[in-house]
Structure formats: structure tokens, C-alpha cells
Structure 1
Amino acid sequence: MSDIKRIVLDVLKPHRPSIVEMSRKLTSIKGVDGVNCTLDEVDQETESVRVTIEGPAIDFERIEQALRETGAVIHSVDSVSVGKKLVEDVHTPAPR
């Protein structure tokens, strides 16, 4: 089975911990080289965050567990890259 190299998640989290703290927690997981957290929306009690994680062997279950420990939940898995190398998404014009 091929390892996950990149995963993009839509995450709902409470205001605390901050996205800085959440990013650091995710980066400490074995197999993760880098994390990008982008705040998409802020509500009265929650924040919607787009989380991009890259690494040689991302353990999705461990990521999910770490997010739960911060009080966050995964709304959706928006993108997954698996294999020997990262393949970038190619945008093509819509047919007319």
C-alpha cells in the first residue's frame, strides 16, 4: 500500500487551541514534514480551518486522533496525494 504524501482537510475547531498550537501538534507527528492551516471562517464558538499536511508517510488515523485531542473534527477530506511523488492538480478549461 502506498503512503499518503499530502492530505487537505476541512476542519471545524473551537477557538482554543489556536491554529498555531494545532499546527505545532500536527507537525510533531511522525511522518509529517509540514503543516499549513488557513482560517476560512470564524463563528461565535468555532473556526473553520483548511489544513494541508505533507510528509513521506502521513498516518491519517494519528492525524484524526491529534485533531480530536484539540477538540477539532474533520468535516471532509478535500484532497489526498498518494504514491512515490506528489502529483499537482491540473486545471483545465471547462468544455463549452
Structure 2
Amino acid sequence: MPIRRLALDVDKVVDRPDLITLACAIENVPGVGSVNITVTEIDVETIGTDITVEGDDIDTDALFRAIERVGAVLHSVDEVVAGDRIIERVLRVR
């Protein structure tokens, strides 16, 4: 079953990699069509980011290696969308 979207929590140190380098490393992974990186937190030494990756059949192992190779750290996988199409999350009313 092809992986279509991943939402990731990724941290990096302040000075490296810069966000462009991180985005390019992710975009070069097989199956990745687009990437969005949003800074969520800035500390003295680290920057927290939310990363959304979409594509037709994302090579998740290569993606995780690419993030680590440029010096960032994957904290968690917060969303996975798989299958023939992307289904948007529906918020439930409680």
C-alpha cells in the first residue's frame, strides 16, 4: 500500500541544517512530491519543526535516513495517509 502523506515532528540544532537544506534532502527522496516545513519552537540550541510530506509512494526508510543524514532528528510520526488516494482528516464533534 503506497504511503501518500506523513506528518513528522523533527528537531534540528539552530545552525544546521538550514531549512532549505532539510527541505531539499526530503524532496530528493523517492516518491516525495512536496514537502512543507513549519517552525513550531525555537530554543537556545534547537529548532522544532512540523514537516508534512506528500507523494505517490514515499520511501519511508529513505525519508528517515535523509532527515538523519543532514543532522536533524525525527521525534515522531504524527500522521500517516496510505492507499490509492489521500483522505483528509475529519474532526469529530464530541
Alignment TM-score, normalising by the size of structure 1: 0.92
Among all aligned residue pairs of Structure 1 and Structure 2, give the percentage whose two residues are the same amino acid.
37
Whole-Å separation in 1 of the counterparts to 2:29 and 2:61: 11
Give the Å deviation of 1:10: 0.3
Give the Å deviation of 1:80: 0.2
Give the Å deviation of 1:20: 1.7
Unaligned stretches of 5+ residues in structure 2: none
RMSD: 0.8
Whole-Å separation in 1 of the counterparts to 2:67 and 2:24: 11
Q: When the two structures are aligned, how many residues end up with a matched partner?
A: 93
Unaligned stretches of 5+ residues in structure 1: none
Between structure 1 and structure 2, the one with the greater Rg is 1
4+ aligned runs moved over 3 Å, structure 1: none
The residue that corresponds to 1:49 in the other structure is 49
Whole-Å separation in 1 of the counterparts to 2:68 and 2:40: 19
